[in-house]
Structure 1
């Protein structure tokens, strides 16, 4: 189902396995609302999938917020777009009858998911962050107790400095989240190991509910 209402162009696939939390799929730069649907089906079979398209264009490529240069974010835009995305999630939950989703974000999508956790933590039940960076230099204090976060970084990632990813993990932990941060022997692109780890982590979270 493709939607143009609720504030963002998006795709929605209803779930057919009771008890699985919905996934909020957040694509990387140049992706769209169809980009991560196969990944979502792989890591959470039977879960409802909600996949919005980023509303910012960079050289014609959709993103979820503006950046000033590679690795340099327009933090005012990060904050504004995180609020818009949280409002979209609330509207989609009402429209489609969804529980709070777990975000599954890659690259730019992982960064806006991290911003959501810090700025509007009520919007998400948890998150799988694939190749994330710290989205804000000076975020507000968030209350993330009870939320679980999986971070998967690449040891040879040319885009995300290792210390930046570690800083994000520490920031989320300090806010009370249960963070698992794994560094894989790979670059910025996703691998089958990412898929397997995300699938196993999501299954474990459901077992803990």
Structure 2
């Protein structure tokens, strides 16, 4: 484990010029939750998996909330800025990708909405962005895969669809993959993520 800019993180080195893949865990996870999965999905990438620095009754997160689906927007802005600075400090010579699940998808999306120049491609698994983002020309050409469950009680289908539509409207290459379950990660979903990352 390493610590930099206030974040504890786990890292796997890649060859020179390899893409850097930032991996963000869900609520209650840590830097280990998706690390091995990321190595399987992107074996040639450099992997950086930060640990969320907010505790919600002992469960690690990347920003505070006041209720289910109700974000502390001031804290989100603060943590987004910190995460963006951390990511910029860690990037190498290759392209920069992001993969996040649930709360991790939300902080990744928030970084993209605040500083679209950092990440060139992102996988957002079961995100929830419960507001209407402003138009952002800097997202043009970015590649985004959103995966979700049609019966997800934490990330409603209509909100997920709205986020995918938003990215497409900004000129991003947005793809949306549905499975028929809820907030869990389905095997078919992982297949879609693998194809997306391989095509990059």
Class of the TM-score when normalised by the shorter of the 2 chains: over 0.9
Q: In the alignment, what sits opposite 1:8?
A: 7
Runs of 4+ in 1 over 6 A off after TM superposition: none
Q: Is the 8 A contact 1:92 1:98 kept in 2?
A: no
Displacement of 1:20 after TM fit? 4.4
Q: Is the 8 A contact 1:133 1:165 kept in 2?
A: yes
Q: Is the 8 A contact 2:139 2:171 kept in 1?
A: yes
Q: In the alignment, what sits opposite 2:133?
A: 139
Structure 1 residue 167 corresponds to structure 2 residue 144:
no
Q: Is the 8 A contact 1:156 1:185 kept in 2?
A: yes
Structure 1 residue 92 corresponds to structure 2 residue 87:
no
Q: In the alignment, what sits opposite 2:64?
A: 66
TM-score by length of 1: 0.90
* Cα distance in 2 for residues equivalent to 1:76 and 1:181: 29
TM-score by length of 2: 0.93
* Worse overlay, 74-83 or 21-30: 74-83
Equivalent of 1:127 in 107, 110, 122: 122
Q: Is the 8 A contact 1:42 1:195 kept in 2?
A: no
Q: In the alignment, what sits opposite 1:192?
A: 187
Q: Is the 8 A contact 2:145 2:193 kept in 1?
A: yes
Q: Is the 8 A contact 2:129 2:159 kept in 1?
A: yes
How many pairs does the alignment contain? 199
Determine which structure has the larger strand proportion and give its number: 2
Displacement of 1:98 after TM fit? 4.6
* Cα distance in 2 for residues equivalent to 1:140 and 1:156: 27
The two structures, once aligned, show a CA RMSD in angstroms of 1.5
Q: Is the 8 A contact 2:18 2:93 kept in 1?
A: no
Displacement of 1:201 after TM fit? 0.8
After superposition, what is the alpha-carbon deviation per residue over 1:158-207, rounded to whole angstroms, capped at 9, x for unaligned?
A: 111111111111221222211001111121011221221101111112xx
